[in-house]
Amino acid sequence: MNNKINHILTLEDGLKFLVINQVIFRGKNYYFVAQVTEDESDITGEYRIVEEQTEGGETYLSTVRDAETIRMLAEYLEPQEQ
């Protein structure tokens, strides 16, 4: 897994998200992300946990919607103080 913390990811719908934290959980990559404005100058206040999936050599990100998975991941993805 490449370190994507502090990188901007663009989803298929064109929305841009800043990676705040990432974790591998049960063999899958997950990211805690914050949506940023179109010009990437500010955070909009929308946060998501997204899962990285690979199909046919292509990598996709999808929003995690299962409440139990979100609860378990929240502990691991909570930003750590430096």
pLDDT at 77: 79
State the average pLDDT over residues 37-58: 93
Look at residue 53 and tell me whether its pLDDT is greater than 60.
yes
Where in the chain are the domains?
A: 8-77
Per-residue model confidence (pLDDT) at position 36: 97
Which residue is associated with the tokens 């999808």?
62
What does the buried/exposed string (b/e) look like for 26-40 if buried means 16 or more CB atoms within 10 Å of the residue's CB? eeebbbbbebbeeee
Identity at 11, one-letter amino acid code: L
Q: Kindly state the tokens that stand for 50.
A: 């997204």
- Identify the sign of the CA torsion 17, 19, 24, 25: negative
Nearest to 22 by CA among 65, 51, 46: 51
The pTM of the full predicted model, rounded to 2 decimals, is: 0.85
pLDDT in tens, 12-41: 888 999 999 999 988 999 999 999 999 999
pLDDT tops 60 at residue 81: no
pLDDT of the residue at 2: 83
Kindly report, residue by residue over 54-68, the tens digit of the pLDDT: 899 998 899 999 999
